């Protein structure tokens, strides 16, 4: 099964994209649940959050539903409106990445 891709110039043979891996869809849904929880804990409606974040209500709904294709900038704008933008640094924190240690060990063992 395929779904339409976001609007961008593509050759005709690429008009549909394959579904993402299940794990990606699950992660997006998990983020949506957390976003909904954060909004509700602040006593905000989707409309109010959209206004604070300068995004449409449908964008807030899409983010909370775990929909694909929402611009990362909009995700960050919503996080900013919730006072949670600072947590974004933790997403790719090298101290939390097991490959960081493996890379450091390889570098130490490399001939000089």
φ, ψ for residue 70, nearest 5 deg = -80, 130
Mean pLDDT per 10-residue run, the chain (112 residues)?
Answer: 46 55 90 97 98 98 96 96 90 86 87 80
To the question of pTM greater than 0.85 for the whole model, the response is: no
Work out how many domains the chain is built from and give that number.
Answer: 1
The CATH number linked to 49 is 1.10.260.40
Parent domain of 104: 2-109
CA distance 32 to 26: 10
- Helices and strands (H and E) in the chain: how many: 5, 2
CA distances from 63 to 1, 20, 41, 87, 108 (A): 22, 16, 17, 17, 42
CA distance 36 to 30: 10
The confidence score (pLDDT) of residue 31 equals: 94
């Amino acid at each position: 099964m395929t779904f339409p891709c976001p609007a961008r110039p593509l050759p005709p043979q690429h008009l549909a994209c394959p579904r993402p891996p299940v794990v990606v869809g699950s992660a997006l849904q998990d983020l949506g649940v957390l976003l909904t929880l954060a909004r509700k804990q602040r006593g905000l409606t989707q409309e109010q959050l959209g206004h604070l974040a300068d995004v449409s209500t449908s964008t807030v709904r899409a983010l909370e539903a775990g929909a694909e294709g929402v611009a990362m900038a909009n995700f960050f704008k919503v996080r900013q409106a919730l006072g949670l933008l600072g947590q974004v640094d933790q997403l790719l924190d090298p101290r939390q990445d097991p490959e960081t240690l493996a890379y450091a060990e390889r570098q130490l063992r490399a001939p000089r």
